[in-house]
């Protein structure tokens, strides 16, 4: 099959088609060299074309137990070489895939010029103009105002019902399955709510912790989620990961901004400002907190000083920009979940409205 990538900078790159289709999205890259199953099923890649910088993707097969959600989320996948296992999986999922191109060139372009729109055309009779047509119809990430609806659960789901641990109300903006597992494994009962659930419905479960998940897109497009954070601020412990950190900061008076090419991979160094300790982390985000508002920056990215951890003793808030559950990646920061659930032990139960 023929394959073409039409990029926002004007270039059209030819490749070998591995899974057919025509699509578009924001061209981004990950530096991870393992965990392709987890990456491809991570809801945070919704509306993006994922390029793998590692040259061979698929050398240990495809196992469903590694999936972070029920489907592949990138609109297309690009690699120097995909194994047949991965190519067949993507074809079954209806996700275009292409390889046999210089991914170093794509990664360099994104690093130097920023994440960019692109159009993808893969098939027996596609042309460069087909890819250009997809590019012309491509929207920017901030224009996907309803992206939360594409990745959030449709109705409330309860995990570990009747457990004797903390009660967590999780606002699902595109949560990874391993985040839910990390909470349940520590005894928590997790009520997973759609991202736009009203505060009253959340209050009905009398949560010990309000947890805002990771997810795709611009945090400013999650207005309903921010409204719940504001409603519970100062009354219930609040935690968040990745997009969740951005939403919490924005809801409480801070601001966010789009990054040039984001942080995506398993080797992002983060420094704790109090201890000076540096840990390697797994990350996947294209936006960041610009002004934390009333929250204190407690951790920063060593490469660019962007906030990686926010806290407030007064408001009982604890958030992380990276993924403590990793999966794949280093497990140095798994203690975050213990800290979050530890926040629950000091709260006073509230009455639902």
Q: Which tokens hold the place of 13?
A: 């790159």
> Is there a binding annotation on residue 217?
yes
Task: Determine the Cα–Cα distance for residues 276 and 172; give it in Å rounded to an integer.
Answer: 32
Dihedrals φ, ψ of 190, to 5°?
-110, 120
> Is there a binding annotation on residue 221?
no
**Is the separation of the CB atoms in 158 and 184 below 8 Å?**
no
Q: Please name which of 109, 110, 336 lies closest in space to residue 242, comparing C-alpha atoms.
A: 336
Helix (H) or strand (E) holding 343, with range, is: helix 335-343
Which of 73, 144, 195, 323 is flagged as catalytic?
Answer: 323
Which of 118, 173, 242, 285 is flagged as catalytic?
Answer: 242
Task: Let me know if 100 is a catalytic residue.
Answer: no
> Is there a binding annotation on residue 287?
yes
> Is there a binding annotation on residue 4?
no
Task: Let me know if 195 is a catalytic residue.
Answer: no
* DSSP helix/strand/coil, 199: helix
> Is there a binding annotation on residue 44?
yes
Task: Determine the Cα–Cα distance for residues 46 and 179; give it in Å rounded to an integer.
Answer: 18
Enumerate residues 6+ apart whose C-beta is below 8 A from 10: none
Which of 26, 231, 308, 325 is flagged as catalytic?
Answer: 325
Task: Let me know if 138 is a catalytic residue.
Answer: no
**In 10 A of CB 327, how many CB atoms?**
20
Could you give the angle at the alpha carbon of 341 between the alpha carbons of 338 and 344, nearest 5°?
A: 145
**Is the separation of the CB atoms in 79 and 103 below 8 Å?**
yes
> Is there a binding annotation on residue 286?
yes
What positions carry a catalytic annotation?
242, 323, 325
Binding residue positions = 44, 215, 217, 243, 246, 284, 286-287
Binding residue positions for L-glutamine = 44, 215, 217, 243, 246, 284, 286-287
């Amino acid at each position: 099959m023929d394959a073409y990538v039409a990029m926002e900078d004007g270039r059209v790159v030819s490749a070998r088609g591995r899974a057919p289709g025509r699509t578009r999205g924001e061209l981004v890259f990950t530096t991870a060299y393992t965990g392709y199953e987890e990456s491809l099923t991570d809801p945070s890649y919704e509306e993006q074309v994922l390029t793998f910088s590692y040259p061979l993707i698929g050398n240990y097969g495809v196992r469903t137990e590694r999936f972070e959600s029920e489907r592949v989320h990138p609109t297309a996948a690009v690699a120097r070489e995909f194994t047949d296992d991965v190519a067949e999986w993507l074809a079954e999922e209806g996700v275009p895939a292409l390889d046999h191109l210089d991914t170093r060139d794509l990664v360099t372009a994104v690093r130097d010029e920023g994440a960019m729109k692109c159009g993808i055309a893969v098939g027996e009779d596609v042309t460069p103009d087909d890819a250009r047509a997809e590019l012309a119809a491509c929207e920017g990430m901030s224009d996907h105002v309803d992206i939360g609806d594409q990745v959030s659960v449709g109705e409330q789901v309860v995990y570990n019902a009747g457990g004797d641990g903390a009660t967590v109300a999780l606002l699902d903006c595109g949560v990874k399955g391993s985040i839910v597992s990390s909470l349940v494994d520590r005894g928590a009962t997790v009520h997973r709510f759609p991202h736009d659930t009203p505060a009253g419905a959340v209050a009905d479960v009398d949560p010990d912790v309000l947890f805002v998940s990771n997810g795709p897109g611009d945090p400013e497009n999650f207005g309903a989620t921010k409204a719940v954070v504001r409603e519970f601020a100062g009354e219930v412990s609040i935690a968040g990961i990745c997009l969740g950190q951005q939403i919490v900061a924005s809801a409480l008076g801070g601001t966010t901004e789009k990054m040039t090419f984001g942080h995506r991979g398993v080797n992002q160094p983060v420094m704790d400002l109090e201890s000076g300790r540096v840990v390697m982390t797994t990350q996947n985000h294209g936006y960041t907190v610009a002004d934390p508002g009333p929250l204190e920056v407690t951790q920063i990215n060593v490469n660019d000083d962007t906030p990686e951890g926010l806290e407030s003793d007064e408001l009982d808030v604890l958030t992380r920009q990276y993924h403590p559950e990793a999966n794949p990646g280093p497990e140095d920061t798994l203690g975050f979940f213990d800290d979050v659930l530890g926040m629950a032990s000091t709260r006073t139960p509230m009455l639902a409205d």
